[in-house]
Structure 1
């Protein structure tokens, strides 16, 4: 990892599935046991020496700017506004932060993931001369849904698979994406930023970042390694059920609170 590694955090969305919590605050500021998701992400970045972050804001952007300020702990913050956040996907928000990506190695995070330090630390620790682009993944459990990846024998990502249910993902031994990825300067300059630009130019502005990465990986244009974080605490929060799961995971001692254990039981209870 470069000493000048920067971070990009996407925090522009409305978070409609988390209403009424997001009526007053944007989703990244919804609290897990008293800590806003975005504050947690910035704290973990600061702890690991990443001192520059670009936050892409949209819905209730001033609330985020006031909450985090120009500096959070040791992290200097720059804000970029997505004026059409309600009509665009995460890929468009990431494209708006292209100048940050073109400046060097970058850690990309979604603003709705609550995670412990080990998730980020392990991802960065996996970065090496042969593994320059690394994404955090975890075993797909009953409490999860959404995008997933297929891993090759060398633990590199061979395929992205969208919109997975637990049954579908487990049948194929897929891993859940945590939406936390380190990209090298070369990959950003040669592959990701041009791919984002092509999507925007072709009016494909509702795409998710995973949909941009998928063809790059499958066509072997982008070599993406996986950091297995199955034994760490994290959760992607899209709904009130997710929020309760995350609160349960982070309320228990780390050894008893893996996403595949306590959260699966709580999710089953929530569905009854």
Structure 2
């Protein structure tokens, strides 16, 4: 069954992007003629997605007012994360559990993905998949993932330092780009129980990648890698990231405006 639901985590404060984020949430920072969140939603509307849940927190009403409950054919639901001031994205995922009723795409509201990445991810025949990029010197930072001999992701590295992994075969290592396809079975049988455990223990400062790392290590799941290929992406955390995104996507944004 095709994926028709997406969850976007967009509750964070974006402190490293101050003063831009003093009056607008990070996901609504303008890039040329669009915003990060608008760009994500436009891509989802071209990927067969019908329902979108956006987890909001910091300046959440600004997001509500801009996006609304109907957006380019998407039915949008807003979920509140009241812990956004001190918790990490694990808490945002916890507040999204009402949407774990089918296969979903899990995305982050600060990652700018070139058109084409999300349709490939949504249509991947494997039950669980993640979009990944090939390593280059600019991407040698956590998280990283490695592939087993069958070509599936079997390990996530959150503490990357070359000295810690001297025997790691870098030809099998890739950079995840904050976009996942998660099956209903994986969500219900594995991710939700682990998510609830961490949340109830007060481990809300963790990122949800901790859960994926642990479940991979326990052989509870394997992910198919969906390569970005020549398509571009930027995880926008800093002013430098933002400047790179504006420069990198200027041509695609002009193309999207003409459609």
**Partners of 1:140 and 1:24 in 2: CA distance:** 35
Q: Which residue of 2 aligns with 1:75?
A: 74
**Partners of 1:4 and 1:246 in 2: CA distance:** 28
1:105 is displaced (CA, Å) by 0.7
Q: Which residue of 2 aligns with 1:208?
A: 207
Please list every run of 5 or more consecutive structure 2 residues that lacks an aligned counterpart in the other structure.
Answer: 254-259
1:172 is displaced (CA, Å) by 5.0
1:62 is displaced (CA, Å) by 0.5
Q: Which of structures 1 and 2 has the larger relative contact order (alpha carbons within 8 angstroms, sep 6+)?
A: 2
**Partners of 2:174 and 2:99 in 1: CA distance:** 29
1:143 is displaced (CA, Å) by 3.3
Q: Which residue of 1 aligns with 2:224?
A: 225
Checking the alignment, whether the CA contact within 8 Å between 1:119 and 1:234 is kept in structure 2 is no
Q: Does the C-alpha gap of structure 1 residues 9 and 169 become closer, same or farther in structure 2, counting only changes over 3 Å?
A: farther
**Partners of 1:72 and 1:158 in 2: CA distance:** 36
Q: Structure 2 matches for 1:34-113, cutoff 5 A? A: 34-101=33-100, 103-113=101-111
1:155 is displaced (CA, Å) by 2.3
Q: Which residue of 2 aligns with 1:148?
A: 144
1:169 is displaced (CA, Å) by 9.4
1:87 is displaced (CA, Å) by 1.4
Checking the alignment, whether the CA contact within 8 Å between 1:169 and 1:175 is kept in structure 2 is no
Q: Does the C-alpha gap of structure 1 residues 63 and 167 become closer, same or farther in structure 2, counting only changes over 3 Å?
A: farther
**Partners of 1:169 and 1:42 in 2: CA distance:** 38
TM-score (norm 1): 0.85
1:125 is displaced (CA, Å) by 2.7
- Are residues 1:125 and 2:123 paired? yes
Checking the alignment, whether the CA contact within 8 Å between 1:142 and 1:166 is kept in structure 2 is no
- The answer to which of 38-47 and 3-12 deviates more is 3-12
1:164 is displaced (CA, Å) by 4.0
Deviation readout 1:144-177 (Å, 9 max, x if unpaired): 3431111223221111111547999997523111
**Number of residue equivalences:** 249
- Are residues 1:17 and 2:12 paired? no
**Partners of 1:220 and 1:246 in 2: CA distance:** 36
Q: Does the C-alpha gap of structure 1 residues 100 and 241 become closer, same or farther in structure 2, counting only changes over 3 Å?
A: same
Q: Which residue of 1 aligns with 2:256?
A: none
Q: Does the C-alpha gap of structure 1 residues 167 and 39 become closer, same or farther in structure 2, counting only changes over 3 Å?
A: farther
Higher share of residues assigned helix: 1
